[in-house]
C-alpha cells in the first residue's frame, strides 16, 4: 500500500514545476513529455504506475476530458523511462458508463486495446482508508485497491475552471478515485462533506506523486462540463500537486491563495507560494491566458 507522511510546508523541500508550450495535440507529445519527465529523475524504473486522467463525461469533441493524445503519450513516455507497467484508471462521477466515455473520447484509438490497461476505478476492489486529516466530517473512505497499491500515481487533469470548486486541477481530479460503486454517481457524500474539505481528505489519503496538466485546450466558465473550450497551449508537469495547481492558477490568471481548498492544501500537501516552487521551462507570464469564471468566483481572479 502507498503510504504518505504529511509534511508541513516549512519542512518540505522546494517543489519543481515545468511548463511546456504546446500548440496542439498533433505535436510529437511523446518526445516532449519524455524530455519533460527527464527533468525530474523520477523513481519509476521497474515500477507500476497509474495515470489518473480526468474523464468526466462523453466527449466527442475532445474538450471536456484529458485528451487521449496526452494520456497515450504519457503512457509511452513512462514505459520508455523504464516503468514495468503503466495503467490508466478513472472513476467518472456523473455517468456510470465508463466504456461509453472512453469510446466517445477515442482513448482506444490512441492507446490500443484497453482491457488489460484501463481500470474503471468506480468498480475496482476497495479497501477501507481511515482519514487522518479529518478536514471534512468523513472518518473513512473506501478507495480502489489499484490506486492505493500502485508504486507511483500521476494525476492528469485538464486545465479547467469549476462551478463548485473554482478550479479543477490535479487535486480536485482525485475525486475520481472515489468509487461510484460505494458512493454513487455522483459521489454525493463528498458534496455533503464539503467539496473543498473532501478534496483535502482524499489527497491526504492518496496523494499523487506527480501531476501532468493538459492545458493545450482547457475550459473556462461553467466547467467541468458545460464551460467554453479555451486554448491555452501548455502542458504543466510537477512533482507536487499543490505547486502544479498553484502554477496552473497563475497561468489562468487566477489567485491560488484565494481558491479555498488550494490555500488549505498549501499547509500540508505541498507548496503554494511561488518562492517555494522552482519554475522551469516557459515563464508563467509568457503563457498566461486569462480564464473566465462564474460570478461566484470573481474574487479568485487576479
Partner 1 sequence: MEADAENSLREPETSFRQSVCLPFLLNAQNPDGGWGFHPKSESRAEPTCWALLALRESSTASTEAVARGLQYLRVAQLSDGSWPSTPEQRTGCWVTALCCWALQGTPDAAAARMAGLGWVCNDWPQDSTPWRRFLTRFSPRSQVQPINNAYRGWGWTPGTSSWVEPTSFALIALEARGDVVPSEAKRRRELGEAMLYDRMCPGGGWNCGNPRVYGVPGVPLIIPTVWALIALRQYGTRPENVMSLEWLDGQIGNIQSTGSLALAKICMEMCGGRWPTDAPVLSDLYERNAFLESIQVAAWSCLALCAPFRWLDMTREKPA
| Interface with partner 1 (CB under 8 A) | 58, 94-100, 103-104, 108, 113-115, 118, 120, 123-126, 128, 142, 163, 181-186, 188-189, 191-192, 222, 225-226, 294, 296
Q: Which is nearer to partner 1, 47 or 67 (CB)?
A: 67
Q: Which is nearer to partner 1, 104 or 276 (CB)?
A: 104
* Minimum CB–partner distance for residue 94 and partner 1 (Å): 5
Number of H helices, E strands in the chain: 11, 12
For helices 260-268 and 241-251, the axis angle rounded to 10 degrees is 140
Q: Which is nearer to partner 1, 25 or 183 (CB)?
A: 183
Query: Does a cis peptide bond (omega within 30 degrees of 0) precede residue 287?
Result: no
* Minimum CB–partner distance for residue 162 and partner 1 (Å): 12
Contact 166, 260 (CB under 8 A): yes
Tell me phi and psi for residue 63, to 5 degrees.
Answer: -120, -5
> Which of 168, 167, 284, 159 lies closest to 217, judged by CA?
159
* Minimum CB–partner distance for residue 270 and partner 1 (Å): 30
* Minimum CB–partner distance for residue 49 and partner 1 (Å): 20
3-state helix, strand, coil in the chain (%, to 5): 35, 25, 40
Q: Which is nearer to partner 1, 190 or 251 (CB)?
A: 190
* Minimum CB–partner distance for residue 75 and partner 1 (Å): 17
Contact 222, 163 (CB under 8 A): yes
Amino acid at each position: 500500500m502507498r503510504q504518505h507522511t504529511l509534511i508541513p510546508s516549512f519542512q518540505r523541500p522546494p517543489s519543481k514545476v515545468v511548463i511546456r508550450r504546446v500548440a496542439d495535440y498533433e505535436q510529437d507529445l511523446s518526445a516532449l513529455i519524455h524530455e519533460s519527465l527527464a527533468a525530474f529523475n523520477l523513481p519509476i524504473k521497474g515500477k507500476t504506475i497509474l495515470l489518473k486522467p480526468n474523464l468526466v463525461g462523453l466527449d466527442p469533441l475532445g474538450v471536456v476530458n484529458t485528451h487521449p493524445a496526452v494520456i497515450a503519450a504519457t503512457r509511452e513516455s513512462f514505459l520508455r523511462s523504464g516503468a514495468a507497467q503503466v495503467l490508466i484508471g478513472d472513476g467518472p462521477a456523473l455517468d456510470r458508463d465508463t466504456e461509453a466515455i472512453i469510446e466517445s473520447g477515442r482513448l482506444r484509438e490512441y492507446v490500443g486495446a484497453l482491457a488489460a490497461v484501463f481500470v474503471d476505478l468506480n468498480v475496482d476492489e476497495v479497501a477501507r482508508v481511515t482519514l487522518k486529516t479529518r478536514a471534512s466530517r468523513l472518518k473513512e473512505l473506501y478507495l480502489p485497491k489499484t490506486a492505493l497499491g500502485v508504486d507511483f500515481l500521476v494525476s492528469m487533469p485538464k486545465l479547467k475552471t469549476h462551478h463548485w470548486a473554482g478550479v479543477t486541477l490535479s487535486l480536485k481530479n482525485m475525486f475520481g478515485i472515489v468509487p461510484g460503486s460505494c458512493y454513487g454517481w455522483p459521489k454525493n457524500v463528498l458534496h455533503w462533506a464539503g467539496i473543498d474539505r473532501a478534496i483535502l481528505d482524499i489527497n491526504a489519503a492518496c496523494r499523487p506523486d506527480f501531476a501532468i496538466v493538459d492545458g493545450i485546450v482547457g475550459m473556462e466558465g461553467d466547467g467541468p462540463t458545460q464551460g467554453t473550450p479555451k486554448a491555452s497551449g501548455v502542458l504543466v508537469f510537477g512533482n507536487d500537486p499543490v505547486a502544479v495547481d498553484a502554477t496552473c492558477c497563475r497561468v489562468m490568471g487566477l489567485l491560488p491563495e484565494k481558491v479555498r481548498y488550494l490555500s488549505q492544501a498549501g499547509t500540508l500537501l505541498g507548496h503554494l507560494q511561488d518562492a517555494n516552487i522552482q519554475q522551469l521551462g516557459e515563464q508563467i507570464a509568457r503563457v498566461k491566458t486569462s480564464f473566465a469564471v462564474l460570478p461566484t468566483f470573481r474574487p479568485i481572479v487576479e
